[in-house]
Amino acid sequence: MGNESSDFRYNTGDTKVPWAAVGENYNAADTFEFVKFLMQGKGAKYNAALRDVKAAIAALGKVSAPPGKLSMGDKVAEVEKAIDQYLGVEEGSSLFVSNCTAALELGYRYAGVGPGDEVIVPTNTFIATVAYPLSVGAKLVFADVDPRTVNMDPKDVARKITRKTKIIVPVHIGGYPCDMDAIMKVAKKRDIVVMEDAAHGFGGEYKGRKLGTIGHFGCFSTHEVKNCTSLGEGGIFVSNVPEYRAEARRARFLGVDFSSKIKNWLYNVSLIKGKGRVRYQASNNASVTEIQALGLLLQIKRYDRILRERTRLATYVTKRLSKIPGVMPQLLGDAKVKPTFHLYQLQIDPKVCGGTVQTLKAKLEEKGVTNIPHFGPIYRFSAAIGKGFDEKKIAATCPVTEKVFDERYTHLPIYGLTKEQVDFMVDAIAASVAEMKAGK
């Protein structure tokens, strides 16, 4: 049946009358449109270069054949291998899927999360982290955050575990590693599954291990706003549970099972085996395209350079901001803890600065620094609380979160900024804090 990721719809074979590989492929003129989309511009020089490219692609079109497969082929297998190597995990651990939300679902389903079960999550994350448990009527239990890293506090996780806890989901927010040893320790005592939401953490390290490879499972996003992308959308599911690797692979495509056949048919559809007695029918098709795989492969090949640039910019901003009393800049990590600097996370001490971060945010926006506060306490969303739960009661169990988000914390852009833009941002922070201290 060809490679593991192939599916019956594309099994062309070497026959006189093969099964059509795809409905319709792309021709040279279409390919030119792709190039034009990926390399935009205007003006005489651009138009002249474009005409040369058009002629060259037309010439290539006369002597070339289109790819046999557009979905789930060799490129997908190749990028999965590259990810395994980059992360330092056993071959076959990584699965390239349609997005991180779909990757997270694979881990939740392994743990058998259902109605009434409890799921421990941090307060500050994107709704994608908790979408699956909410959709099946599980109860979200919010762990408070560490005041400095704004990551899940393992001590609060330990306090909030009950007999109903099925899974703990640490999120390496902004790419700063969670205290994984402490989280793994409390989970192990009770045989609870740990799934790292490493949407921001690709390439980050914790005590010599890459983020996303420490828990039972790790999930990455390759959406266009994350550290590396597969042409806009994508995700990676990493399984540290060897017996779930083939299961998750099958779950990616509806549980279709080529290893067994039913009577007079090509394949079977079998249930996915999760933890213990958990069995489920896969409900999603999280397949990806060869073009997405190629896009991701190219970015992973230069990923060390991408991380170095993020680290360089964050280090520079932290160095400058640490000179301002009352400003607590992004932590830079050390030999054991290596962040990915997906976001530049900033805090202030309201007492020293003479005002809260809400004032600082407004001042920065006035001065022209984009304010995108996209992570906050998700229990403030009515949808994230669920029926019968009370926002005030939940907030009362997360006092650090309440204080940090209302008074101390924000995050700033970092990657892709020029020296001028970075300096402008730091100067704007310095000026705003000075105004606040002067009571303005």
Applying CB under 6 A, which residues contact ligand PLP? Answer: 99-101, 125-126, 128-129, 171, 197, 199-200, 221, 223, 235
Nearer to ligand PLP, 146 or 197 (CB): 197
| Beta carbon of residue 132, minimum distance to ligand PLP (angstroms, whole number) | 11
Nearer to ligand PLP, 119 or 171 (CB): 171
CB 149 within 8 A of CB 170: no
| Beta carbon of residue 262, minimum distance to ligand PLP (angstroms, whole number) | 34
| Beta carbon of residue 426, minimum distance to ligand PLP (angstroms, whole number) | 25
Nearer to ligand PLP, 81 or 223 (CB): 223
Nearer to ligand PLP, 128 or 428 (CB): 128
| Beta carbon of residue 284, minimum distance to ligand PLP (angstroms, whole number) | 12
Q: How many CB atoms lie within 10 A of CB 340?
A: 27
| Beta carbon of residue 342, minimum distance to ligand PLP (angstroms, whole number) | 8
If we measure between CA atoms, which residue out of 350, 437, 386 comes closest to residue 116?
386
Q: For residues 353 and 432, what is the distance between their CA atoms, to the nearest angstrom?
A: 10
| Beta carbon of residue 425, minimum distance to ligand PLP (angstroms, whole number) | 22
Nearer to ligand PLP, 6 or 129 (CB): 129
Cα–Cα separations (whole angstroms), residue 290 to 5, 93, 263 = 11, 19, 32
Buried b (16+ CB within 10 A) or exposed e, 355-364: bebebbbebb
Q: Compute the Cα dihedral for 383, 386, 392, 397 and give only its sign.
A: negative
Nearer to ligand PLP, 89 or 173 (CB): 173
Nearer to ligand PLP, 101 or 410 (CB): 101
Nearer to ligand PLP, 172 or 363 (CB): 172
CB-count exposure of residue 291 (10 Å: 0-12, 13-18, 19+): middle
| Beta carbon of residue 220, minimum distance to ligand PLP (angstroms, whole number) | 8
Beta carbons within 8 Å of 331's beta carbon, 6+ residues apart: 148, 149, 176, 339, 345
Nearer to ligand PLP, 148 or 223 (CB): 223
Strands 165-168 and 124-125: unpaired
The side-by-side arrangement of strands in the sheet containing 209-210 is 209-210, 205-206, 337-338
Paired tokens of 429: 């922070």
How big is the chain, counted in residues? 440
CB 233 within 8 A of CB 311: no
| Beta carbon of residue 225, minimum distance to ligand PLP (angstroms, whole number) | 7
| Beta carbon of residue 217, minimum distance to ligand PLP (angstroms, whole number) | 13
CB 400 within 8 A of CB 153: yes
Q: For residues 298 and 435, what is the distance between their CA atoms, to the nearest angstrom?
A: 46
